[in-house]
């Protein structure tokens, strides 16, 4: 749904919420990097502090193996007219891409085993009106892909072997009328541990979190306090452990409605935070603890409560800001001079990356 709606981002004045003296807080270090492309980069996935994948419009992906000192860019053959709304890095050789386009069969999942030299299509959508917004993984070969609802059903997918994607639509909770997710940065779904996952939704009368604790076999749906409408809801979700997480979103038709919420019971209940000082809706949020590949599964590198958010607005996609909170939304600080970024992700507090307009990449370190 959100490729359809994400082009409707409007400009607003930033909220100003600073509960502490900014002068007493050390700001993160920002280092611009050269991606080698001018295409919009929409999603980013660090494997560790050195290996990072990102992807975006024009069938483009970029990868670094030296922490971003140098990046290699490429275009997936046959995907030149598609957008990659999500990417999952596994190693310097292995990565997944999730594409969207104007046609039913443009929603595809690609995988490379050779660092992008060749790409293999693992899944091609055949469900009319499905719209695959995001995917996430517990292990390199075990993950989920999430779609907007179709006729009251979420046609979601799961893989156990990193090759075959099978429907788990019958496992999903019934959808509300018009319920959908936002393909803003590939972060409308997140995984944690061996079997926990959360999906942020909107588009209907209630913004919800869909949650599983058994790898997608069963799901529960929980209401959140975020505004919801055909243009509003939860956009990005992340959890630092099985109980504590954060949800960001807003209304793509009203920039004054940027919102974030926290949960401390696994997503069952949510409380609004203080308003982040950014324009527009939150496109992406990420815990600074980050996610990295360890013992063949994705693990958090610590339990930091520090979260970074970024937003985007139109008409030229050059506005929008970033902010960070050391305490899951009680206190916020603007990231000065940062604009035009769609996504942010960390492998550790010292190694995070913003990606966005015109191939921009900005390393952020705490």
Contact predicate 74/96, CB 8 Å:
no
Read off the pLDDT of each residue in 241-247 and give the average, rounded to a whole number: 96
Question: Residue 291 has which token pair?
Answer: 């996610």
pLDDT for 104-138, tens place per residue?
Answer: 999 999 999 999 999 999 999 999 999 999 999 99
First to last CA, the chain: 35
- State the pLDDT at residue 137: 98
Structural domains present in the chain: 2-365 (2.130.10.10)
pLDDT for 202-214, tens place per residue?
Answer: 999 999 999 999 9
Contact predicate 102/123, CB 8 Å:
no
Sign of CA dihedral 237, 91, 132, 75: positive
Rounded Cα distance between 287 and 276, Å, is 15
Distance of CA 154 to the CA centre of its chain: 19
- State the pLDDT at residue 294: 80
Percent residues over pLDDT 70 in the chain: 90
- State the pLDDT at residue 313: 61
Name 237's Cβ contacts closer than 8 Å, sequence gap at least 6.
187, 188, 189, 190, 198, 199, 200, 209, 245, 246, 247, 248, 285
């Amino acid at each position: 749904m959100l490729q359809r709606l994400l082009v409707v981002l409007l400009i607003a004045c930033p909220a100003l919420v600073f509960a502490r003296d900014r002068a007493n807080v050390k700001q993160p270090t920002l280092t611009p990097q050269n991606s080698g492309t001018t295409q919009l980069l929409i999603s980013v996935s660090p494997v560790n502090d050195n290996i990072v994948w990102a992807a975006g419009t024009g069938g483009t992906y970029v990868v670094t193996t030296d922490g971003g000192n140098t990046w290699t860019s490429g275009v997936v053959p046959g995907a030149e007219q598609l957008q990659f709304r999500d990417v999952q890095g596994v190693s310097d050789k292995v990565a997944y891409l999730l594409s969207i386009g104007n046609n039913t069969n443009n929603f595809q999942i690609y995988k490379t085993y050779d660092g992008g030299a060749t790409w293999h299509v693992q899944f091609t959508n055949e469900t009319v009106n499905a719209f695959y917004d995001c995917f996430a993984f517990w292990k390199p070969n075990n993950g989920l892909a999430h779609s907007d609802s179709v006729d009251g059903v979420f046609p979601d997918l799961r893989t156990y072997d990193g090759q075959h994607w099978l429907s788990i639509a019958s496992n999903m909770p019934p959808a509300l009328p018009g319920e959908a997710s936002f393909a803003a940065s590939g972060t409308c779904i997140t995984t944690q541990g061996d079997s926990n996952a959360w999906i942020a939704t909107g588009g209907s009368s209630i913004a919800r979190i869909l949650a599983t604790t058994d790898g997608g076999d069963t799901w529960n749906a929980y209401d959140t306090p975020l505004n919801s409408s055909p243009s509003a809801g939860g956009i990005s979700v992340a959890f630092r452990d099985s109980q504590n997480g954060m949800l960001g979103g807003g209304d793509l038709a009203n920039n004054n409605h940027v919102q974030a919420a926290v949960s401390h019971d696994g997503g069952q209940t949510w409380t609004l935070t203080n308003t982040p000082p950014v324009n527009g809706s939150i496109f992406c949020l990420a815990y600074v603890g980050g996610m990295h590949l360890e013992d063949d599964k994705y693990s958090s590198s610590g339990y930091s409560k520090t979260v970074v958010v970024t937003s985007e607005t139109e008409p030229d996609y050059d506005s929008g800001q970033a902010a960070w909170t050391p305490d899951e939304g009680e206190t916020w600080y603007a990231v000065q001079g940062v604009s035009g970024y769609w996504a942010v992700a960390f492998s550790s507090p010292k190694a995070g990356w913003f990606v966005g307009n015109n191939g921009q990449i900005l390393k952020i370190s705490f």
